Amino acid sequence: MKNIIFYYTGTGNSLWAAKKIAEGLPGTEIIPMKSIAENTLPHETDITGMVFPVYIWGVPSPVLDFIRKIRNLKTGYFFAVATNGGQVSNALVQLKKELASEGISLSSGFGLTMPSNYIPFGGPGSRETLDAIFRKAEEKIKLVTESVKGKELRSPEKGPLWHRLLFSMFYRMSFSHVNVMDKKFSADSRCTGCGICVKVCPAANISTDNGKPVWLHKCEQCFACLQWCPEKAIQYGEKTAGVDRYHHPEIKVSDIILSGKSRL
């Protein structure tokens, strides 16, 4: 049996984390969640992992969709890592319940703080801030890897109670509206019609009209289109034009494009 880490990513944080964990787990394959259909899964694995970002303080809808596809997976140990901009909140507790509903037991769950790509809250921070976050993330990944190698049973990490109660409510209120939140995206005069936004979108949510992007209201709020635009031409609302963009410096745009392709 082999080890598998499934990941979902928009700007590269979760892919980077998955790669780093896999480096410490010999015989581990990294597979994008978007590529999986039910009949492409292995029957059994020794260790299975999920790495995904926290959206609106909860589990993103593509990850919930993925869980339905792995209900028949047999694994000896199942772990999850939730990348986040500073607070894992209730995401891993929610994940544990969702997995249990499909007959899968979450053996351990870890939060991993990474630079935020959610531009409505501002840019990722200074170079010094980013370097400090990356150093701490590397240290946390070493702990995660050792725990997974030892198949340690750990309760999912979570935020303080008040935070989980409050932001779980925001998650429930917002979840059904995520797909139409792309109404705030637009492309300004710097757009060259290169099509990168179309290629990186994991939801196939962007088409073009006269070379300009058009959003189709099946958004996942990953912000890949905005963060990977080479001209910084894509905006979200009216206040993002001068805000620094972010995608993980060790991840290439070609990695993101491959991450969104379906496995036939």
pLDDT of residue 40: 61
- Round to whole Å and give the CA distance between 73 and 203: 24
Query: CB 204: neighbour CB atoms within 10 A?
Result: 12
For the chain, list the domains and their CATH numbers. 2-166 (3.40.50.360), 177-259 (3.30.70.20)
For residue 72, give the amino acid letter: N
- Round to whole Å and give the CA distance between 201 and 193: 15
Nearest to 2 by CA among 35, 21, 28: 28
pLDDT of residue 231: 97
**CA 5 remoteness from chain centre:** 13
DSSP 262: P
Nearest to 225 by CA among 249, 255, 247: 247
**3-class DSSP state for residue 174?**
helix
Q: Angle 173-177-181 (CA atoms, 0-180°, nearest 5)?
A: 125
- Round to whole Å and give the CA distance between 257 and 264: 16
Residues of the chain with confidence (pLDDT) below 50:
262-264
- Let me know: does 82 contact 112? Beta carbons within 8 Å: yes
DSSP letters spanning 132-172 = HHHHHHHHHHHHHHHHHHTT---PPP---HHHHHHHHHHHH
Q: Angle 120-232-210 (CA atoms, 0-180°, nearest 5)?
A: 110
